[in-house]
A and B are shown apart, each in its own frame.
Chain A
Amino acid sequence: MGRYVVRRVIQAIPVILGATFLIYALVFLLPGDPIQALAGERRADPTVVAMLHNRYHLDDPFFLQYWHYLVGLFQGDFGEDYRGNAVVDVMTRAFPYTINLALTALVIEMVVGVVAGVIAALRRGRFIDNLVLISTLMVISIPTFVIGFVLQLLLGVKLHTDYGIDFFPVSFNEDAGFRAYLLPAYVLASTSLAYIARLTRTSLIEVMRADYVRTAVAKGLSPLRVVVRHGLRNALIPIVTFLGMDLGSLMGGAVITEGIFNIPGIGHQLFQSVYLRERTIVVGVVSALVLVYLFTNLVVDLLYAVLDPRIRYE
Chain B
Amino acid sequence: MTDTTKPSGARDGGPRLDAVELLGARRENLVPGTPLLEVDDLHVEFATRDGIAKAVNGVSYSVSAGETLAVLGESGSGKSVTAQAIMGILDMPPGRITAGKILFRGQDLLRMSSKARRAVRGRKIAMIFQDALSSLNPVLSVGFQLGEMFRAHHGTSRKEAKDKAIELMERVRIPAARQRVNDFPHQFSGGMRQRIMIAMALSMEPDLIIADEPTTALDVTVQAQVMDLLAELQAEFHMGLILITHDLGVVADVADKIAVMYAGRIVETSPVHELYARPAHPYTKGLLNSIPRLDQKGQNLYAIQGLPPSLLKIPTGCAFNPRCDRTQDRCLVELPPLVPVLDAEGADLPGRHSACHFWKETLHG
A: which residues have CB within 8 A of B? 210-212, 214-222, 225, 229-230, 233-234, 237, 307-310, 313
Contacts and interface: CB of A to CB of B under 8 A. Distances in A.
Given A211-B131, A217-B89, A219-B152, A234 B122 contact: no
Contacts of A214: 89, 129, 135
A308 B138 CA distance: 8
B212 to A, nearest CB: 10
Contacts of A309: 138-139, 141, 184, 186
Contacts of A210: 134
B178 interface: no
Given A212-B137, A215-B129, A310 B186 contact: yes
Given A211-B131, A225-B152, A220 B139 contact: no
B97 interface: no
B1 interface: no
Given A214-B89, A310-B184, A220 B152 contact: yes
B200 A219 contact: yes
Contact of B121 (A218, A234, A237): A218
A212 B148 CA distance: 14
B341 interface: no
B137 A230 contact: yes
Interface string B153-183: 1000000000000000000000000000000
Nearest to B187: A313
B136 A212 contact: yes
B134 A218 contact: no
A250 B360 CA distance: 77
Interface string B83-125: 0000101000000000000000000000000000011111100
Interface string B126-144: 1101010011111111000
A222 B134 contact: no
Contacts of A215: 129, 135-137, 200
Residue among A219, A230, A307 with most chain B CB within 10 A: A219
B216 to A, nearest CB: 14
Contacts of A307: 139
A221 B150 CA distance: 10
Given A217-B89, A221-B148, A234 B120 contact: no
Contact of B87 (A211, A216, A218, A229): A218
A313 B152 contact: no
A180 to B, nearest CB: 39
A308 B137 CA distance: 11
Interface string B199-238: 0100000000000000000000000000000000000000
Given A222-B152, A310-B186, A216 B138 contact: no
A309 B145 CA distance: 15
B121 A216 contact: no
Contact of A221 (B127, B152, B186): B152
Contacts of B200: 215, 219
A220 B134 contact: no
A123 B11 CA distance: 38
Contacts of B149: 219
A308 B139 contact: yes
Contact of A220 (B121, B129, B138): B121
A217 to B, nearest CB: 5
A222 to B, nearest CB: 7
A211 B127 contact: no
A220 B135 CA distance: 15
Given A215-B135, A219-B148, A313-B184, 7 more contacts: A211-B135, A212-B137, A215-B136, A220-B152, A233-B139, A234-B139, A310-B184
Contact of A218 (B89, B137, B186): B89
A312 to B, nearest CB: 9
8 contacts: A211-B135, A216-B137, A218-B126, A219-B149, A220-B123, A230-B140, A233-B140, A310-B184
Nearest to A308: B139
A220 B118 contact: yes
B21 to A, nearest CB: 18
B137 A234 contact: yes
A51 to B, nearest CB: 61
B325 to A, nearest CB: 38
A233 B140 CA distance: 9
A73 B140 CA distance: 42
Contacts of B138: 212, 234, 308-310
Given A218-B89, A218-B126, A221-B148, A212 B187 contact: no
A256 B127 CA distance: 56
Contacts of A230: 137, 140
A288 to B, nearest CB: 35
Nearest 7 CB-CB pairings of A with B = A220-B122, A220-B121, A211-B134, A219-B122, A212-B137, A211-B135, A309-B184
A306 to B, nearest CB: 10
Given A234-B138, A234-B139, A220 B127 contact: no
Contacts of B126: 218
A217 B127 CA distance: 10
A222 B119 CA distance: 9
A307 B139 CA distance: 7
Contacts of B187: 313
Nearest to A208: B91
A1 to B, nearest CB: 13
A230 B153 CA distance: 17
Contacts of B140: 229-230, 233
A218 B152 CA distance: 12
